Chain A
Amino acid sequence: MSQLDDYKKAMMETARVVWGEEAEQAKPHIEAVAESVWRLGELELQPKLEPVTKLRHGEQT
């Protein structure tokens, strides 16, 4: 089993602890989000790269 599979499994286990059987219905969403989180987590980012906290593209015309 890959690390990604382990991560998805861990997310599902957390969901089961929080919501019980209802978590099964959310499985496709939870796994899709877990995959995205995992893939983004594999990237190395420079500390100077700041998050978007409010989109401001500049002055309106």
Chain B
Amino acid sequence: MKPYRMNLKEATEAISRGSLTSRQLTESLLERIETTESKIHAWATIDPDKALKGAEEARETYGVLYGIPVGVKDIYYTAGIRTMMGSPIYRDYVPDVDADMIIQVKKQGANILGKTHTTEFALHDPAPTTNPWNTHHTPGGSSSGSAAAVATGMCPVAFGSQTGGSVIRPASYCGVVGVKPTYDRLSRGGVYPLAWSLDHIGYMTRTVEDAHLMLQALTNKKKPWKKRPTPPRIGVLRGYFKEKANQDVWNGYEEAVNRLWGEGAEMIDTELPESFKLVPDVHRVIMAVEVASVHEDLIKTQSQMYGEFIRGYIMSGLLVPATAYLRAQRLRAKIIEDMVKLIKQYDCVVCPSTTDTAPEGLAWTGSPAFNAPWSLTGFPSITVPSGLATNELPLGLQIIGAPYSEWSLLKDADWCFEKLGFDTRPRDPYTPG
């Protein structure tokens, strides 16, 4: 097997056995990038010499990610590597420090392959990245480059971040595994903020076991991988999700639910609490105000350097009264309280990962409506690919757990991933017509 086709676990095992070196793996990934990047545009900055030098240096550090090249969303500070935040304001910015999570993966033996494209400041103004399943479609955002790079086999793992749906949505659109751990589980230090109380560190891999390996590396905890011995007890969410999903997504979701039930999972219909219907308004008010606060000073001097969407978004947040922001945060407390009660009745709950499959064109990266609830509550969520829609684009199943349940949630997600049986080996970019 060509090294670029290896998933994270296979690559770490091959390197540990001595049958593969970090340099060989990095070279294979760089070759893969060379052949696919002109169609995918996943990378904002990549320096092959620096990546190969990093692979040599990584040999000095033995850890869970020994010798593994990692893709990094371009809002994470990376010492000595340009970090543009998807904005022309930062087009020449080279940090002299690493983000906390970059320090952590380097301690675990990883090296930085390059920086992946993000939407502008991780909001909506799109990146140039395309979807490997159909390059006429968006890969989703804001972690656009990371999802597309993992799906194409340009790297086995990549960092993203999520404030609304920026890890789960692109992972689902690109047919890979996406993980958004509990709020504050992983340090956001050195990651350019979008909205502090909603921002989450996250990442993409091609298998759930790889996601477990990555979480071990990021938390510095040794948790041996064990599969679930019995099928999980799963709460099935409909209501709000059925109202907003398109028919293709909903059919795929019901099929996945039936498949899991057929495999022995306890699938229990569950009613969302009354407060859940407030999620879109509460999320919108909090996010608008916090985004405005983050950018309030910079936009005074650099207004013309901002894209149209984010400029309007900032303006809307600046107009919100302080009491309205606090009201939203008070209602958020109520939503969290109600949802904790619901979710603790099950091993996990499920809903579709997205409202639709990847939209055509690159201008709109899709709706975060199915992910924002878990960014707002801070609950951990994972997407696993669940099948293909009638337009041959991937569908995802989103699996959500109680706060700090990541380790068991990964086992639940792995059980679902295995039973749904989606092939997540690297895809060659497809351009119809």
Binding site for B on A (CB under 8 A): 11, 14-15, 18-19, 22-23, 25-30, 32-37, 39-41, 43, 45, 49-61
- Contacts of A60 on B, CB cut-off 8 Å? 185, 404
Residue of A nearest to B184 (CB): A55
Q: Is the CB of B327 within 8 A of A57?
A: no
Q: How far is the CA of A33 from the CA of B313 in the complex (A)?
A: 9
Selected contact of A26 from candidates B281, B311, B320, B336, CB within 8 Å = B311
- Contacts of A18 on B, CB cut-off 8 Å? 318-319
Q: Which of B240-248, B263-271, B282-290 is the contact stretch?
A: B282-290
For the complex with contacts A36-B282, A40-B324, 13 further pairs of A-B residues with Cβ separation under 8 Å are A23-B315, A25-B308, A30-B312, A32-B284, A34-B319, A40-B282, A50-B333, A51-B329, A51-B330, A55-B183, A55-B378, A58-B403, A58-B404
Q: Is the CB of A14 within 8 A of B336?
A: no
Q: How far is the CA of A45 from the CA of B87 in the complex (A)?
A: 40
Binding site for A on B (CB under 8 A): 182-185, 197, 278, 280-282, 284-285, 288, 308, 311-313, 315-321, 324, 326-334, 336, 378, 403-404, 407
Q: Is the CB of B330 within 8 A of A49?
A: yes
CB distance from A27 to the nearest CB of B (A): 8
CB distance from B55 to the nearest CB of A (A): 32
CB distance from B188 to the nearest CB of A (A): 12
Given contacts A37-B285, A41-B327, contact A57 B378 (CB under 8 A): yes
Residue of A nearest to B185 (CB): A60
Q: Is the CB of B326 within 8 A of A15?
A: no
- Contacts of A39 on B, CB cut-off 8 Å? 281
Given contacts A33-B284, A40-B285, A57-B182, contact A15 B315 (CB under 8 A): yes
- Contacts of B324 on A, CB cut-off 8 Å? 37, 40-41
Q: How far is the CA of A11 from the CA of B332 in the complex (A)?
A: 24
CB distance from A28 to the nearest CB of B (A): 7
Given contacts A52-B197, A52-B332, contact A33 B404 (CB under 8 A): no
Q: Is the CB of A36 within 8 A of B280?
A: yes
- Contacts of A25 on B, CB cut-off 8 Å? 308, 311-312
Selected contact of B285 from candidates A14, A23, A26, A36, CB within 8 Å = A36
CB distance from A21 to the nearest CB of B (A): 12
**How many residue-residue contacts, CB under 8 A, span A and B?**
104
Could you list 18 A-B pairs, sorted by A, with CB under 8 Å? Answer: A15-B315, A25-B312, A29-B312, A34-B316, A36-B281, A36-B285, A37-B324, A40-B282, A43-B327, A49-B330, A49-B333, A51-B330, A52-B197, A52-B333, A55-B183, A55-B336, A55-B378, A58-B404
Q: How far is the CA of A52 from the CA of B7 in the complex (A)?
A: 39
- Contacts of A33 on B, CB cut-off 8 Å? 284-285, 288, 316-317, 319-320
Q: How far is the CA of A43 from the CA of B313 in the complex (A)?
A: 25
CB distance from B306 to the nearest CB of A (A): 11
Q: Is the CB of A57 within 8 A of B321?
A: no
- Contacts of B197 on A, CB cut-off 8 Å? 52, 54-55
Q: Is the CB of A30 within 8 A of B319?
A: yes
Selected contact of B319 from candidates A14, A40, A41, A57, CB within 8 Å = A14
- Contacts of B311 on A, CB cut-off 8 Å? 22, 25-26
Q: How far is the CA of A15 from the CA of B311 in the complex (A)?
A: 13
**Max chain B CB contacts within 10 Å: which of A23, A25, A29, A60?**
A29
Given contacts A39-B281, A57-B378, contact A32 B330 (CB under 8 A): no
CB distance from B66 to the nearest CB of A (A): 25
- Contacts of A23 on B, CB cut-off 8 Å? 315
Q: Is the CB of A40 within 8 A of B326?
A: no
Q: Is the CB of B404 within 8 A of A59?
A: yes
Q: Is the CB of A61 within 8 A of B404?
A: yes
Residue of B nearest to A30 (CB): B316
**Max chain A CB contacts within 10 Å: which of B317, B319, B320, B404?**
B319
Residue of A nearest to B379 (CB): A57
